[in-house]
């Protein structure tokens, strides 16, 4: 994991109906480990922190999440971890 301190500690919106839940949060961490990009290649860590809104939709069966769809703004993410300079 390229950001072993990744965390989502805030969940300001939580809704659900039947076997589907949807939650927003704030996705935070620090880019401190090499990030695999395929083909045996890696992006070296920048040591930069990131913090951005995210949302997840979960599908549940018998009390277990069987699918999760996680969304955040990749453009904001790559700026914050220093892969693109504004």
pLDDT tens digits, 48-74: 999 999 999 999 999 999 999 999 999
How many Cα atoms within 13 Å fall on the side-chain side of residue 59? 4
Tens of pLDDT, residues 29-42: 999 999 999 999 99
pTM: 0.80
- Whether residue 56 contacts residue 71, with contact meaning beta carbons closer than 8 Å, is answered with yes
Could you say which of 2.60.120.200, 2.60.40.10, 3.10.450.50, 3.40.50.2300 is the CATH number of the domain covering 7-80?
3.10.450.50
Domain ranges of the chain: 7-80
Q: Which pLDDT score is estimated for 68?
A: 96
Mean per-residue pLDDT of the chain: 95
Q: Given this model, what pLDDT does residue 86 score?
A: 66
């Amino acid at each position: 994991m390229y950001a072993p301190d990744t965390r989502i500690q805030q969940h300001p919106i939580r809704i659900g109906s039947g076997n589907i839940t949807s939650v927003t949060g704030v996705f935070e961490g620090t880019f401190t480990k090499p990030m695999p990009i395929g083909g045996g290649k890696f992006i070296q860590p920048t040591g930069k922190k990131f913090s951005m809104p995210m949302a997840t939709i979960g599908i549940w069966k018998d009390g277990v999440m069987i699918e999760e769809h996680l969304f955040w703004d990749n453009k904001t993410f790559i700026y914050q971890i220093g892969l693109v300079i504004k």
